[in-house]
Amino acid sequence: MKKNNSNQRPLILVTNDDGIHAPGLKTLMEIAKKFGDVMAIAPNEGRSGMSHAITIKYPLRYKKLREEEGFVFYSCSGTPADCVKIAINQILDRKPDLLLSGINHGSNSSISVVYSGTMGAAIEGGLHAVPSIGLSVTDYSPSPDFSAAILYGERIIEKTLIDGLPEGVCLNVNFPRLSAGDVRGIKICRQARGLWVEEFDKRSDPHKRDYYWLTGYFENYEPEAEDTDEWALKNKYVSVVPVKIDFTDLGAMEKLRSSYAKART
Amino acid sequence: MKKNNSNQRPLILVTNDDGIHAPGLKTLMEIAKKFGDVMAIAPNEGRSGMSHAITIKYPLRYKKLREEEGFVFYSCSGTPADCVKIAINQILDRKPDLLLSGINHGSNSSISVVYSGTMGAAIEGGLHAVPSIGLSVTDYSPSPDFSAAILYGERIIEKTLIDGLPEGVCLNVNFPRLSAGDVRGIKICRQARGLWVEEFDKRSDPHKRDYYWLTGYFENYEPEAEDTDEWALKNKYVSVVPVKIDFTDLGAMEKLRSSYAKART
């Protein structure tokens, strides 16, 4: 795959996990067009909660939906991570300069990063050494106010295009549920410790067989910690968490090494 | 949910991502029975490559398949992570003392951890503060030699039941494709840096429409690094990688903070 040469406009790969019709995707494509040529590819239906899932058992299909000068838009039958793989490996003839995933309808802060299809796509981009940003509004409605995402998203995108990102890192950006004018700025944060406390909503189908809807609420284990994404969002900041693509816990590695070494003697 | 009291046998939650009929699951259930009471729950069909995906758009169903003294076995319509959630939140009346996920048919070393349904389930267990271990044989055949997984898996399970695991950490254990007698021991490792290099296998269906199979090969970026899981496996060791459930890159966080602070002035 060819590298971009400096005379070309940046090539920006855009994807999401809410599917091709999501207002968040439309907004992100418009933002991306200001910064470069755009190749957008999104699942043909919503694929929320898909994490970093890939499609192994079924074949993938993709289709060009629209093309105009500096912009092309595809749908794909796979997951968000599949979209990134097929774009980079099959469709594009040069490496993207930036990957943008979103704008997700709903928060991906704290532990939601592990379930998020938006962040699965961003991590996949990072794996391919493309500076990658997942963007989410903490608003689950179908028509959220994107003004803060536009204003602050553009700042983060511009900065990332200029500076790049540290190797093996992508960004998890969440916007508070506020209009741009009410946002206090950007905070670089760590992922808050917390858990989705599940309550399964049990129902009975017309054939008297039980089924269960996964539901629940988020519990923040450290609501007072000012360096976390949850604190930032609650205090009207945009949260930016650098996500490490290497999941090794180096501290635990040392501890386990000495523990296993002792067990051997 | 009640905690286990010290008079009870340990309660071991067993799951996998290859489905209820996988030989690896059967082997793991047999291992687990030696250490405690076992509640096994697995997807009703293979769900490889599902990462940490959860089912939001569809309801979940589960069914008891078998029950005997100290052992109960369920199937579930969801992903591996769904299995863990529904077991802990809906089915079990006390918290498991250990979660075992596997034995996966195929390697989950290096970057495969991000795609792995086996490890998605283990991470979900860790989130619920259950010491959790994902176990995989680096052999994709339907009938692998599990002798090394049995011998060394039991050692790791016994040690984890006694010592527990550091908070926010689960284990990614991979076994080399060797009989137990040829394995040289256990190595605590970090995740090797590498990438699945994708090649999409393009075909045409009977209606002349193209489709693509995701395929490819793994490229190890650091084959000489002796502290990695890939090196351990290649050199006949069982690899044990402690996986950190907090994905924040703290080093990158500091770098980005000073870079964003400068931009503001």
Each residue of B127-176: pLDDT tens digit? 999 999 999 999 988 899 999 999 999 999 999 999 999 999 999 999 99
Report yes or no: A213 and B61 within 8 Å, Cβ to Cβ.
Answer: no
**Among all chains, which residue has been given the structure tokens 């994709």?**
B140
Nearest to A169 among B50, B61, B249 (CB): B249
pLDDT for the residue B174: 98
Largest CA distance in chain A: 69
Distance CA A16, CA A33 (A): 16
pLDDT band of B262, cuts 50, 70, 90 = confident
Query: Rounded CA gap, B12 and B120, in Å?
Result: 17
Q: Percent helix, strand, coil in chain A (nearest 5)?
A: 30, 30, 35
Residue B53: which of A49, A203, A256 has the nearest Cβ? A49
What distance in Å separates the CA atoms of residue B132 and residue B179, rounded to the nearest whole number?
Answer: 25
pLDDT tens track for B205-237: 999 999 999 999 999 999 999 999 999 999 999
pLDDT bin (cut points 50, 70, 90) of residue B265 is: very low
Distance between terminal CA atoms of chain B?
Answer: 52
d(CA A217, CA A109): 13
Residue type present at position A103: I
- Averaged pLDDT, B194-211: 94
Asked if A240 and A171 count as a contact pair (C-beta separation under 8 A), the reply is yes
Residue in chain B nearest A246 by alpha carbon = B191
> Tokens in use for A246?
């290497």
**pLDDT tens per residue across span A130-162:** 999 999 999 988 899 999 999 999 999 999 999
Residue B108: how many CB atoms within 10 A of its CB?
Answer: 29
Say whether A163 and B48 touch across the interface (CB within 8 A): no
Contacts with A57 (C-beta within 8 Å, 6 or more apart), sequence order: B46, B48
Q: Which of A46, A52, A159 sits opposite B115 (nearest CB)?
A: A52
Q: Which chain A residues have a beta carbon less than 8 Å from that of B212? A: 59-62, 86, 90
pLDDT at B2 over 70: no
Average pLDDT over residues A62-72: 97
Smallest CA-to-CA distance from A54 within A35, A17, A82 is with: A82
> What kind and span of H or E run contains A118?
helix A117-127
pLDDT of the residue at A198: 87
Longest CA pairwise span in chain B (Å):
69
How many angstroms separate the Cα of B259 from the Cα of each of A188, A212, A236, B265? 10, 47, 21, 10
Residues near B208 by beta carbon (within 8 Å), at least 6 away in sequence? none
Q: Is the pLDDT of residue B195 over 70?
A: yes
pLDDT tier at A265 (50, 70, 90 boundaries)?
Answer: very low
State whether B243 and A255 contact (CB < 8 Å).
no
Task: Find how far residue A13's CA is from the centre of its chain.
Answer: 13
Q: Is the Cβ of B167 closer than 8 Å to some Cβ of chain A?
A: no
Instruction: Say whether residue B244 is in contact with chain A using an 8 A CB cutoff.
Output: yes
Give the per-residue pLDDT at B185: 96
Angle, alpha carbons B259-B262-B265 (nearest 5°): 155
A-chain CB neighbours of B241 within 8 Å are 247-248, 253
Task: Name A244's Cβ contacts closer than 8 Å, sequence gap at least 6.
Answer: A168, A169, B247, B248, B249, B252
- State what percent of residues in chain A have pLDDT above 90: 92
Asked whether residue A2 carries a pLDDT value surpassing 70, the answer given is no
Query: What pTM, to 2 d.p., does this model score?
Result: 0.95
Q: Is A251 on the interface with B (CB under 8 A)?
A: yes
Asked if A203 reaches chain B (Cβ–Cβ under 8 Å), the answer is yes
Helix (H), strand (E), coil (C) string for A123-140: HHHHHCCCCEEEEEECCC
Please say if the pLDDT value at position B1 is more than 80. Answer: no
Helices B147-163, A250-264: inter-axial angle, 10-degree rounding: 100
Q: Tell me, what's the pLDDT at B3?
A: 62
By the CB < 8 Å criterion, does B105 face chain A? no
Best residue in B246, B250, B254, B265 to probe A by mutation, most A CBs within 10 Å?
Answer: B246
* Under 8 Å between Cβ of B27 and B150: yes
B197 has a pLDDT exceeding 80: yes
Could you give the residue ranges of the DSSP H alpha helices within A128-228?
A: 147-163
Identify the three-state secondary structure at position A235.
coil
pLDDT of residue B199: 87
* Å between B17 CA and nearest CA of chain A: 12
CB of A55 less than 8 A from some CB of B: yes
Alpha-helical segments (H) within chain B = 23-33, 80-86, 117-127, 147-163, 229-234, 250-264
Question: Is residue B46 within 8 Å of B22, Cβ to Cβ?
Answer: yes
A111 touches A77 (CB < 8 A): no
Cα angle value B1/B17/B133 (rounded, 5°): 60
Query: Under a CB-based contact definition with an 8 Å cutoff, are residues B163 and B124 in contact?
Result: no
Do A139 and A165 form a contact (C-beta atoms < 8 A)? no
Whether residue A54 and residue B52 make contact (CB cut-off 8 A), yes or no, is no
Which residues of chain A does B186 touch, with a Cβ-Cβ cutoff of 8 Å?
Answer: 260
∠ Cα B51 B56 B58 (to 5°): 110
Partners of residue B12 on adjacent β-strands: B38, B98
What does the pLDDT look like over A241-254, one tens digit per residue?
999 999 999 999 99
User: Would the CB atoms of A247 and B211 count as touching at under 8 Å?
Assistant: no
Provide the 3-class DSSP secondary structure of residue B103.
strand
* A1 interfacial to chain B (CB closer than 8 Å): no
Whether B240 and chain A come into contact, CB under 8 Å, resolves to yes
Say yes or no: B184 contacts chain A, CB-CB below 8 A: no
Amino acid at A57: K
CB distance from B34 to chain A under 8 Å? Answer: no
How do B11-15 and B98-105 pair as beta strands?
Answer: parallel
Query: pLDDT-derived band of residue A262, with 50, 70 and 90 as boundaries?
Result: confident
Among the listed residues B146, B78, B167, B73, the one whose alpha carbon sits nearest the alpha carbon of residue B117: B78
Mind listing the pLDDT tens digit for each residue in A113-129?
999 999 999 999 999 99
Q: Are B34 and B60 in contact (CB under 8 A)?
A: no
Examine the predicted complex and report whether its ipTM is higher than 0.90.
yes
Summarize pLDDT for B89-130 with one digit per residue, the tens.
999 999 999 999 999 999 999 999 999 999 999 999 999 999
Q: For residue A218, give the 3-state DSSP assignment.
A: strand
Mean pLDDT of B238-258: 95
If we measure between CA atoms, which residue out of A196, A135, A124, A140 comes closest to residue A160?
A135
| Pairwise CB contact (< 8 Å): B120 & A46 | no
Can you give the residue ranges of every domain in chain B?
11-193+223-264
Helix (H) or strand (E) holding A80: helix A80-86
The mean of the pLDDT values for chain B is 95
Q: Is the pLDDT of residue A4 over 90?
A: no
Does residue A56 sit at the B interface (CB-CB below 8 Å)?
A: yes
Whether chain B has a CB inside 8 Å of the CB on A166: the answer is yes
Predicted confidence (pLDDT) at residue A199 exceeds the cutoff of 90: no
B11-193+223-264: CATH topology? Stationary-phase Survival Protein Sure Homolog; Chain: A, (3.40.1210)
| Contact: A248, B243; criterion CB under 8 Å | yes
